[in-house]
A = this chain, B = another copy of it.
Amino acid sequence: MIARITVTLKPGVLDTQGRAVHDALKTLDQATIDGVRIGKYIEVKLDETDIMKARTAVKEMCDKILANPVIEDYSIEMDSEG
Contacts and interface: CB of A to CB of B under 8 A. Distances in A.
Contacts of A38: 40-43
A59 to B, nearest CB: 10
A34 B60 contact: no
A57 B30 contact: yes
B8 A61 contact: no
Interface in A1-56: 6-8, 21, 24-25, 28, 30-48, 53-54
Given A65-B24, A65-B25, A32 B44 contact: no
Given A65-B21, A65-B25, A36 B45 contact: yes
A33 B6 contact: no
